Structure 1
Amino acid sequence: MSVKLGPNRYGKAETRLVHVAREGPVHRVKDVNVSTSLSGDTEAVHLTGDNAAVLPTDTQKNTAYAFARKHGVGQIEEFALLLARHFVTSHPSIHHARVEIEEYGWNRAGPHSFVRDGGEVRTCVVHHDRQGDSTVVSGLQDLVVLNTTGSEFHGYIVDEYTTLPPTRDRVLATAVTARWRHTGETASYAQSYERTRQALLDAFAGTHSRSLQQTLYAMGERALTVCPEICEVRLALPNKHHLVVDLSPFGLDNDNEVFHAADRPYGLIEGSVLREDAPDARFAWE
């Protein structure tokens, strides 16, 4: 039997980094989680343990901190591009860099006081290779949304194991994970993020849903319509079931007012929506 080394990468996962921009009496905070992954000339280290071509993961961590001091942390996509390009251009043995960043929001409570935002987490994944090609995928996760009406589910396959009753009025709730691929470099990632986020929310709120799949497509379609700088949206929507509680044992009716919010099991709806002329994604989703 013969074997060979397959695709591989190495890096430092989840470097927690907080940057405080002290611009006079009013400060700004960026709270991020940075993960770096590198690939290239790694055959020797795997086959013989020769580390000559390896950039230590501790060095990758230190680079994130040093770049925060040298360049600040503005838009996470721009910071990720800085890091990825640095790794590839500074070390010949590194052919490809992947940088993933999560950003945790803080709301201002004073010139130098902040309250942690309990909402969604902003994300990005950036790739850069030694041919000079870059890809940027922005996104968010844990954006929890709910419609109290305007959702149905009926007309599905019924077999001997089906117990779910059809409904023409239900609560529809989900925790949105969304990723969107930029066609090229975007002039303002901050504005693009806000436009895309709002498009997703508008579509969720404005779609009379006969299935969560229909809502998923409407959300992706709206984002692509509003934001010309992106070409593909991928969504994961867990169906956070709200079950009507039977109050008849207590002599009470329940006209879709009292629910049990079940956390598991849950339906999971996933899909992508893209422009017909979207360029090849290459390594963007890896």
Structure 2
Amino acid sequence: MGIVLGPNQYGKAQNRVFRVHRETARHEIRDLNVSTSLRGDFTAAHDPGDQSGVLPTDTQKNTVFAFAKQGIGAIEEFGLTLADHFVAQTPAADGARIEIEEYAWDRIRSGGAGHDHSFVRRGGDTRTTVVTVAGQGAARRAWVVSGLRDLVIAKTTGSEFSGFLRDEYTTLAETDDRVLATSLVARWRYGGTDVDFDGCHASIRSVLLERFAEVHSLALQQSLYAMGGAVLERHPEVAEIRFSAPNKHHFEVDLSPFGLENPGEVFIAADRPYGLIEATVTRDDAPDAGQAWLSVPGFC
């Protein structure tokens, strides 16, 4: 029986980049969390331990900050630029994976307008991307998966859950009116890289929220399918969209011991255990996903 090295990658995780643009008195900021990884033939680094083909993770960190100085643009474009650079700099590497989160900030209101250089971090969801590049030149392939996480949404009616399978352990009551809430994670794969990434992200986020609000939900699964379908209908550049949605349960409180009625007004918001619904909505003619989802955790 022989022992061989299996799939591997290495890089610098969670480089926190806070970029301030000071070209004018009215500053602009970008706040990123960037993780880099290289893939390839790094067998010698593991056995016998020869590091001559390894671009240090510290170098990867320094590169992220140096490239941020030159300009970031859309996080997808920034990721592609970094990935191509690392593959070109590292002969043993045949691919690179760049994962980026972006945190949004708003200007603090002062004197009726947004302050020039004071900001407050925006609450809510976080923009994400995972960029993968394999090869160089004519053999180069690139995949971009963008998305968002921690998009907490709820509807206080227009949701039901009934007609489900029952067995001897089923106690859940059917309902035709409930609170439906989730902290949504959505990631979508583009069919190429010639995309207005900023414009698409803003539009897709809007579509997801619109469909969640508009659809009378028979189940969270049905809502996710409707949301994903709406994204694919409006955005031909998107090949597929994947969801991970914890069902944030809200249970009506029994107020009868206190002589009070509770017609769907007071709830216990329970954070665990929770149903976890995951789904992919895709085009039947979507291009091959290749390495797009490799090492993107949490998705079926």
Q: Same fold (TM over 0.5)?
A: yes
Q: Distance in 1 between matches of 2:257 and 2:290?
A: 59
Measured after TM superposition, the shift of residue 41 of structure 1 is 2.1
Measured after TM superposition, the shift of residue 91 of structure 1 is 2.1
1:126-181 deviations in Å (ceiling 9; x for gaps) = 00111311110110000000000000001111111111110000000001100001
Find the counterpart in structure 1 of residue 27 from structure 2: 27
CA contact (8 A) 2:17 2:31 kept: yes
The structure 1 residue matched to 2:171, chosen from 157, 163, 166, is 163
Find the counterpart in structure 1 of residue 81 from structure 2: 82
Stretches of structure 2 that go unaligned for 5 or more consecutive residues are: 109-114, 295-300
Q: Does 1:40 align with 2:40?
A: yes
Stretches of structure 1 that go unaligned for 5 or more consecutive residues are: none
Measured after TM superposition, the shift of residue 220 of structure 1 is 0.5
Q: Distance in 1 between matches of 2:90 and 2:59?
A: 12
Measured after TM superposition, the shift of residue 108 of structure 1 is 1.6
1:214-262 deviations in Å (ceiling 9; x for gaps) = 0110111011111111110000111000000000000011000000000
Q: Distance in 1 between matches of 2:41 and 2:168?
A: 56
Find the counterpart in structure 2 of residue 93 from structure 1: 92
For the residue of structure 2 that corresponds to 1:119, the secondary structure is: coil
Amino-acid identity (%) = 57
CA contact (8 A) 1:195 1:226 kept: no
How do 1:235-274 and structure 2 match up within 5 A? 235-274=243-282
Amino acid in structure 2 at the alignment position of 1:61: K
Question: TM-score, normalised to structure 2's length?
Answer: 0.94
CA contact (8 A) 1:243 1:261 kept: yes
Q: Distance in 1 between matches of 2:6 and 2:185?
A: 30
CA contact (8 A) 1:236 1:269 kept: yes
Amino acid in structure 2 at the alignment position of 1:44: A
For the residue of structure 1 that corresponds to 2:27, the secondary structure is: strand
Question: TM-score, normalised to structure 1's length?
Answer: 0.98
Q: Distance in 2 between matches of 1:31 and 1:105?
A: 7
The structure 2 residue matched to 1:115, chosen from 111, 120, 123, is 120
Amino acid in structure 1 at the alignment position of 2:171: T
Amino acid in structure 1 at the alignment position of 2:54: V
Measured after TM superposition, the shift of residue 187 of structure 1 is 3.2
Two-structure CA RMSD over aligned residues (Å): 0.8
Find the counterpart in structure 2 of residue 199 from structure 1: 207
Find the counterpart in structure 1 of residue 152 from structure 2: 144
Q: Give structure 1 regions of 4+ aligned residues with deviation exceeding 6 angstroms.
A: none
The structure 2 residue matched to 1:209, chosen from 204, 207, 217, is 217
CA contact (8 A) 1:18 1:29 kept: yes
Q: Does 1:233 align with 2:241?
A: yes
Q: Distance in 2 between matches of 1:177 and 1:140?
A: 6
CA contact (8 A) 2:54 2:90 kept: no
Q: Distance in 1 between matches of 2:26 and 2:74?
A: 19
Q: Distance in 2 between matches of 1:270 and 1:236?
A: 4
CA contact (8 A) 1:242 1:262 kept: yes
Find the counterpart in structure 2 of residue 128 from structure 1: 133
Q: Distance in 1 between matches of 2:249 and 2:204?
A: 26
Find the counterpart in structure 1 of residue 195 from structure 2: 187
For the residue of structure 2 that corresponds to 1:112, the secondary structure is: strand
CA contact (8 A) 2:195 2:237 kept: no
Q: Distance in 1 between matches of 2:89 and 2:166?
A: 60
Q: Distance in 2 between matches of 1:227 and 1:198?
A: 12
For the residue of structure 2 that corresponds to 1:122, the secondary structure is: strand
Q: Does 1:60 align with 2:60?
A: yes
